[in-house]
Structure formats: structure tokens, C-alpha cells
């Protein structure tokens, strides 16, 4: 098990942990959903199983009202039986080699989830690694998009979100994100120090 790694961006703590996202007691957890919002494998199935039928019932209402959720978008439901009060469902891109807008869609999935948490006044949110399971997005590339999107989001605005926890189930994925966050920290420490007098 990797030890938690964290940095702070503009008063918001970003923490990388290895574990089970369904156990997080944050205000919201993010579900890497499919566009039908009907549950499935991986994180999606685990969240629906742990949260119980109330989550699926709200998902069905959303799909009945607005249709399938496009990739890069996000919606919010109850957390049901989870420790988290809410679940933010987002659809990441299927990896097709990187030339079909996948980085932009993945960035949008992260950004829309953060915006939804902020607009609902939430103070903490937990994310899985979006699109790196059956959707096949390479983990190293996905972690770069995630950290860049997080950096941009928190550097450029005031927000209610005080903590973002990225919860990674397996060691390979944890290591990719932990390495990425450490590089993010190094970059920020350099900011302003390399100025020319």
C-alpha cells in the first residue's frame, strides 16, 4: 500500500491515496460512469453496490429527463448508503489512440465534476482514476491530464472545495498519480524562484 502523498494548491489540499473509493467519507465521491448511468463494472459497479438502489433510481430519473450523459459531462445524485453524501457521475472518454479528443474530454470530466461540487457548496470530493480501466486510457497520460486540470481549476478561482482525494485501487495506478503529484509540487516550488533580476 502506497503512503498518502499531498500538495496544496491555493488553500485546497490534493491528496493521493491507495484504497477503496466507496469507503471515503468526503462530501462527494466521483463515479467513472457509462453514459447510460446504469452501473457496470469496476468503480461504477462498486459504487452502485455499496450505495444501494437509491443511486440507481436517481440515475434512471436523470436519463429519463435528459437522455444519456455525454462523455466529459457530470451529474450529481444522492450517496445512498455510502459515507459520502453525494455521488458525482461523470463519463470519461474511451481511449482510441489519443487523436480523437480524448485528453480534452477527460479534462472536461474532471473539470465538470469539480464545478458541480463547487456549485453545490461541497468542501471535499474523492475521485477515482477516470477512463483508465476498461476504457483503456493509459494511466500515465490520464494522471497528467488530471493533475493539469486540477492545477488550473484551483489556481484560477475561489472555491468551496478544501480537499480533493484521488483514491486509486491498484499499486500501478497509485504510483503513476503519486509520481505526477510530486512533479506538480516541484514545478510549483520553482515558480517565482527562477525569475531574472
Sheet holding 12-18, edge to edge: 5-9, 12-18, 163-168, 124-127, 28-32, 86-90, 74-78
- Cell output for 160: 468551496
Residues whose CB is less than 8 angstroms from the CB of residue 147 and which lie 6 or more positions away in sequence, other chains included: 177, 180, 181, 183, 184
Among 20, 27, 44, 118, the one annotated catalytic: 44
96 φ, ψ to 5°? -125, 25
Is 44 catalytic? The answer is yes
Q: Cell numbers 459497479 label which residue?
A: 45
Residues serving a catalytic function are 44
Amino acid at each position: 500500500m502506497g503512503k498518502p502523498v499531498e500538495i496544496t494548491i491555493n488553500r485546497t489540499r490534493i491528496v493521493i491515496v491507495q484504497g477503496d473509493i466507496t469507503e471515503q467519507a468526503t462530501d462527494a465521491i466521483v463515479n467513472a460512469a457509462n453514459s447510460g448511468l446504469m452501473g457496470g463494472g469496476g468503480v461504477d459497479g462498486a459504487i452502485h453496490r455499496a450505495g444501494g438502489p437509491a443511486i440507481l433510481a436517481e440515475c434512471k430519473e436523470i436519463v429519463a429527463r435528459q437522455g444519456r450523459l455525454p462523455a466529459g459531462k457530470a451529474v450529481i445524485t444522492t450517496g445512498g448508503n455510502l459515507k459520502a453524501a453525494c455521488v458525482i457521475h461523470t463519463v470519461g472518454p474511451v481511449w482510441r489512440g489519443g487523436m480523437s479528443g480524448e485528453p480534452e474530454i477527460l479534462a472536461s470530466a474532471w473539470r465538470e465534476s469539480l464545478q458541480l461540487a463547487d456549485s453545490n457548496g461541497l468542501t471535499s470530493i474523492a475521485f477515482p482514476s477516470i477512463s483508465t480501466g476498461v476504457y483503456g486510457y493509459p494511466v500515465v497520460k490520464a494522471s497528467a491530464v488530471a493533475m493539469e486540470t486540477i492545477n488550473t481549476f484551483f489556481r484560477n478561482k475561489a472555491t468551496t472545495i478544501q480537499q480533493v482525494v484521488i483514491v486509486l485501487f491498484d499499486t500501478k495506478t497509485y504510483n503513476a498519480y503519486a509520481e505526477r503529484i510530486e512533479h506538480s509540487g516541484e514545478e510549483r516550488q520553482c515558480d517565482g524562484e527562477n525569475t531574472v533580476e
